[in-house]
């Protein structure tokens, strides 16, 4: 029975893809992201855990990240700026290898994050401006080839309001709804029915507070004090929407290695690495998701993205 967190009516229809899923022996997870490095900063330890357990994981990156700024001072050199497109592809390949995931590019141009008041228009041919059906058709094809049981993407706010993150959400939702329908994108392969869809969210105040308190109680410097001081008190914490906390502390080191592979984007001396791994494992040993679609029975809260899927595939 279809379960939709936003209230979709139950749908008992079964597709050929869904029938095939009941006898398929493997479990497959697809994570859809906007830019290279997003996969390493959002859900990387979860993916590394599932890879270690023998499951197949694929990351789909919608853009090449060409418009990304050089955020690591050690990499801020003219030749880096001149070769950003090539470097970001190389960084993504290294991160994928570290995580053990398969990887696909959708091939769209990074929209950039416009600054100014009013902000300047986005480039005409960028990901956020191309007709929606173009990236949806490409993602549907990749989904039908990989046949994921579970898909993760961003929430309706994109995790944060970057135009590519918001478009990534729109593309992911449209593709998820189309992939099992043989009448939609008939040239994109045989229909397939994923069984669950999750959102990842942006930063959590509760998480930062926990880290801040853990650091200060140990007499360590906290990089979060000013951030928490300036946090909008009316801004709801994303933890209010979380349904699923995946234990993955054993893979935080793999996550950090994948992050460092994105050397143009990640400063190894930044707050990404401010909390010692032993403190992270003690204080916050999970990564969090919101279940928004499910065709399998599950009980909330969950601790496994494949909850209900495992039983469906093996029975």
Q: In terms of domains, do 177 and 231 share one?
A: no
Mean pLDDT calculated for residue range 292-313 = 95
pLDDT in tens, 117-166: 788 899 999 999 999 999 999 999 999 999 999 999 999 999 888 999 99
Confidence class for position 68, pLDDT limits 50, 70, 90: confident
CA pair distance 251, 254, nearest whole angstrom: 5
Residue 271 counted as domain residue:
no
- Regarding whether 154 and 80 lie in a shared domain, the answer is yes
| Residue 248 belongs to a domain | no
Angle CA 65–268–74, to nearest 5: 75
CA distance 167 to 28: 24
- Contacts for 217 with CB less than 8 Å, ≥ 6 apart: none
Give the residue from 145, 131, 153 showing the smallest Cα distance to 179: 145
Statement: residue 276 has pLDDT above 70:
yes
Residue 269 has pLDDT above 70, yes or no: yes
- Under 8 Å between Cβ of 120 and 114: yes
89 closest CA partner among 112, 71, 70, 107: 107
Give yes or no for a contact between 122 and 128, defined as CB atoms under 8 angstroms apart.
yes
Q: pLDDT (tens digit, 9 = 90+) per residue, 185-239?
A: 999 999 999 999 999 998 999 999 999 999 999 999 999 988 899 998 888 999 9
Q: What percent of the chain has pLDDT over 70?
A: 91
258 in a structural domain: no
Residue 107 contacts residue 138 (beta carbons within 8 Å): yes
Please check whether residues 211 and 178 belong to one and the same domain. Answer: no
Q: CATH code at 141?
A: 3.40.50.10320
Choose among 195, 204, 203, 160: nearest CA to 176.
195
* Stretch among 65-74, 114-123, 159-168 having the lowest mean pLDDT: 114-123
Domain shared by 233 and 92, yes or no: no
Known binding residues: 35, 38, 165
Query: What is residue 116's predicted lDDT score, i.e. its pLDDT?
Result: 80
SS3 259: helix
Domain that holds residue 30: 3-201+284-314
Please report, in range form, the residues annotated as the binding site for Zn(2+). Answer: 35, 38, 165
- Average pLDDT taken over every residue of the chain: 91
Give the mean pLDDT of 76-85: 91
Residue 62 has pLDDT above 70, yes or no: yes
| 103 domain-assigned | yes
């Amino acid at each position: 029975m279809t379960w939709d967190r936003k209230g979709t009516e139950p749908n008992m229809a079964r597709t050929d893809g869904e029938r095939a899923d009941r006898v398929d022996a493997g479990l497959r997870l697809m994570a859809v992201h906007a830019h290279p490095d997003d996969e390493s900063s959002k859900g990387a330890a979860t993916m590394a855990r599932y890879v270690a357990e023998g499951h197949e994981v694929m990351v789909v990156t919608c853009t090449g990240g060409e418009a990304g700024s050089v955020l690591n001072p050690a990499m801020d050199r003219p030749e880096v700026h001149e070769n950003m497109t090539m470097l970001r592809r190389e960084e993504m390949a290294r991160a994928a290898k570290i995580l053990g995931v398969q990887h696909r590019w959708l091939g769209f141009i990074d929209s950039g994050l416009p600054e100014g008041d009013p902000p300047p228009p986005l480039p005409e041919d960028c990901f956020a401006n191309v007709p929606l059906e173009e990236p949806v058709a490409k993602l549907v094809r990749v989904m039908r080839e990989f046949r994921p049981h579970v898909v993760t993407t961003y929430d309706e706010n994109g995790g944060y309001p970057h135009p590519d993150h918001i478009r990534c959400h729109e593309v992911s939702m449209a593709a998820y709804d189309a992939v099992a329908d043989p009448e939609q994108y008939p040239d994109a392969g045989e229909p397939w029915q994923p069984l669950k869809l999750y959102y990842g969210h942006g930063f959590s105040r509760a998480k930062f507070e926990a880290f801040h308190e853990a650091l200060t109680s140990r007499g360590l410097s906290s990089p979060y004090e000013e951030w928490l001081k300036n946090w909008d008190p009316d801004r709801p914490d994303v933890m209010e929407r979380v349904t699923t906390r995946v234990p993955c502390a054993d893979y935080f080191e793999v996550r950090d290695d994948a992050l460092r592979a994105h050397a143009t984007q990640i400063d190894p001396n930044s707050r990404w690495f401010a909390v010692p791994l032993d403190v992270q494992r003690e204080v916050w040993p999970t990564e969090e998701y919101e279940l928004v679609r499910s065709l399998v029975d599950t009980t909330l809260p969950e601790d496994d993205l494949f909850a209900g899927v495992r039983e469906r595939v093996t029975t």
